[in-house]
């Protein structure tokens, strides 16, 4: 019995020593992948320096590198994700930013460019920093549970989350595996047209794309023939899916609405009418001067306002790199639109010339008139048009600031067609007035009288448009 007892003790001690050790070793086996959470923004000038380094250089250099990208300018849901990372892990509210662990982050373009490559080399592998869960090995990560709208990158592949509810193991196999034909065998998916993925300042194009439930998977490299009738099997017709560079109809509607408010501004009409009246008074016999001087004035205003728009957009793009500002910028612009709407409605109910932010201030009018009444030629009209825009700004800048705030989330080059559209709408009524007077359909005095008679209704239309747009922006409807 004693011998049996000691044998039992020996076996128990042996199991106690070796089994826990083996379990611990299994738990401590690190993932082979290096996972990093990356916050960026399309249109952010600092991100334009880091995006190519990460998505074009490092992903090719390191086959084990996986990036969880959160773009916060075009995907507003991701801005709140960054805010949550800040609350839980003391992340910065600026971009670009890479999070590796609760105590390890790279903030700013210089730090990322200088140190990220070095970190990958030193650490070899790294788990993913996930909200509410801390560090999670990539193999154990539930892609469906990731908050916001992330993009998951590895080498020449990308997973784009649209909604939850997709087979998590299939998603991991797609992004981590290499034999896509075998991975998708007997799986249901739809072959779709690949779309460009926007980075800050450029795009990445993909050759192949499929939709797997609520995720889009795109890759470059060999395609394969769908088998077993498990796919949709057809690419969509050309133009069926919008390209990243295609303007959103909702954005165009907002821009046109703001431009219309600016276009029917009484003070812009007043300046043009005064200039035309001066030209006619100086030499009534030369009616062509009306046309050329009027066109010169309109072109000058168009050019100057286009330049102002570029300056305002660039200003917003600089400050929006501070995400704490970006998080509330859109709402602030909505409030500004509502305030401008109420100010215009106030001018409709109880009109008083020189209304605050709705018309040219009274103290500027004599100075503007002094410059305008010196116009005697098209060249002079062009010069006065450029200069007088400074007097117009106090009464027209409101809608333009809101427009620039909406456009600042786009790449700078993509803002230019919108600014051109805005300013074409803005100067269109001026152009119509010039043609009406030149063709003799109405006298300058008639146009001026119509403007004075209907000035309250012009403010009413402006007020209603601004009020509606502001409420839509504030409530998230637009």
Q: CA-based angle 71:73:74, to the nearest 5?
A: 80
> For residue 299, which of 447, 441, 428 has the smallest C-alpha distance?
428
Three-state DSSP class for 39? Answer: strand
DSSP state letter for 368:
H
Question: What mean pLDDT do residues 197-219 have?
Answer: 88
The confidence score (pLDDT) of residue 18 equals 41
pLDDT at 389 over 90: no
Residues with Cβ within 8 Å of 351's Cβ and at least 6 positions away in sequence, in order, are 455, 456, 459
Three-state DSSP class for 70? Answer: strand
Q: What is the pLDDT of residues 249-264, one digit of tens each?
A: 557 888 998 898 888 8
> What ranges do the domains of the chain cover?
34-219, 249-475
Range with the largest mean pLDDT of 221-225, 384-388, 425-429: 425-429
Whole-number Cα distances in Å, 245 to 50, 97, 191, 361, 410: 21, 25, 22, 40, 10
- Confidence band of 35 (pLDDT split at 50, 70, 90): very high
The confidence score (pLDDT) of residue 283 equals 59
Contact of 410 with 245, CB cutoff 8 Å: no
Residues with Cβ within 8 Å of 437's Cβ and at least 6 positions away in sequence, in order, are 276, 290, 294, 443, 444, 447
More confident residue, 276 or 143: 143
Extended beta strands in 179-275, E state: 190-191, 197-199, 202-204, 208-212, 215-219
- 34-219, CATH topology level: Glutaredoxin (3.40.30)
pLDDT at 159 over 80: yes
Q: What is the pLDDT of residues 116-152, one digit of tens each?
A: 999 999 998 999 999 999 999 988 999 988 999 999 9
Three-state DSSP class for 243? Answer: coil
DSSP state letter for 42:
T
More confident residue, 269 or 216: 216
Which helix (H) or strand (E) segment holds residue 420: the answer is helix 412-439
Helix and strand numbers, DSSP H then E, in the chain: 16, 13
Which helix (H) or strand (E) segment holds residue 129: the answer is strand 128-130
- Sign of the dihedral through C-alpha 285, 288, 291, 296: negative
pLDDT at 101 over 50: yes
Say how far residue 149 (Cα) sits from the centre of its chain: 14
Q: What is the pLDDT of residues 347-375, one digit of tens each?
A: 889 888 877 777 777 777 787 777 777 67
Query: Tokens 């088998």 appear where?
Result: 227
Question: What mean pLDDT do residues 380-389 have?
Answer: 82
């Amino acid at each position: 019995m004693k011998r049996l007892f000691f044998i039992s003790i020996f076996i128990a001690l042996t199991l106690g020593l070796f089994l826990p050790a083996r379990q611990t070793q299994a738990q401590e086996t690190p993932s082979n992948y290096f996972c990093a959470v990356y916050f960026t923004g399309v249109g952010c000038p600092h991100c334009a320096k880091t995006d190519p380094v990460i998505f074009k250089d490092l992903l090719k250099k390191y086959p084990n590198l996986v990036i969880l990208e959160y773009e916060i300018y075009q995907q507003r849901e991701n801005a709140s994700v960054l805010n949550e990372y800040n609350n839980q892990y003391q992340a910065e509210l600026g971009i670009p930013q890479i999070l590796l662990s609760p105590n390890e982050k790279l903030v700013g373009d210089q730090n990322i460019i200088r140190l990220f490559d070095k970190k990958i080399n030193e650490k070899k592998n790294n788990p993913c920093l996930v909200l509410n869960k801390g560090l999670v090995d990539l193999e154990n990560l539930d892609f469906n549970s990731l908050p916001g709208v992330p993009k998951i990158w590895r080498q020449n592949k990308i997973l784009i989350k649209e909604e939850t509810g997709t087979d998590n193991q299939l998603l991991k196999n797609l992004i981590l595996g290499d034999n896509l034909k075998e991975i998708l065998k007997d799986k249901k998916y739809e072959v779709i047209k690949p779309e460009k993925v926007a980075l800050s300042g450029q795009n990445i194009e993909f050759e192949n794309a499929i939709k797997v439930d609520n995720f889009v998977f795109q890759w470059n490299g060999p395609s394969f023939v769908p088998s077993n009738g498990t796919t949709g099997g057809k690419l969509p017709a050309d133009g069926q899916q919008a390209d990243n560079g295609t303007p959103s109809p909702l954005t165009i509607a907002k821009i046109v609405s703001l431009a219309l408010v600016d276009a029917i501004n009484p003070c812009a009409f007043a300046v043009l009418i005064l200039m035309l009246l001066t030209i006619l008074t100086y030499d009534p016999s030369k009616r062509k001067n009306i046309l050329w001087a009027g066109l010169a004035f309109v072109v000058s205003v168009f050019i100057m306002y286009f330049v102002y728009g570029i300056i305002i957009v660039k200003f917003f793009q600089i400050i929006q790199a501070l995400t704490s500002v970006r998080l509330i910028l859109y709402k602030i612009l909505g409030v500004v639109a509502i305030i401008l709407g109420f100010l215009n409605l106030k001018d409709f109910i109880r009109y008083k010339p020189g209304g605050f932010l709705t018309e040219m201030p009274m103290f500027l009018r004599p100075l503007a008139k002094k410059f305008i009444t010196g116009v005697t030629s098209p060249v002079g009209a062009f010069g006065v048009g450029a200069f007088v825009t400074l007097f117009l700004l106090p009464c027209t800048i409101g809608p333009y600031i809101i427009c620039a705030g909406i456009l600042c989330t786009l790449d700078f080059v993509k803002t230019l067609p919108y600014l051109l559209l805005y300013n074409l709408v803005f100067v269109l009524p001026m152009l119509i007035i010039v043609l009406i007077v030149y063709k003799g359909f109405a006298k300058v005095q008639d146009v001026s009288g119509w403007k004075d008679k209907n000035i309250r209704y012009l403010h009413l239309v402006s007020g209603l448009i601004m009020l509606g747009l502001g409420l839509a922006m504030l409530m998230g409807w637009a």
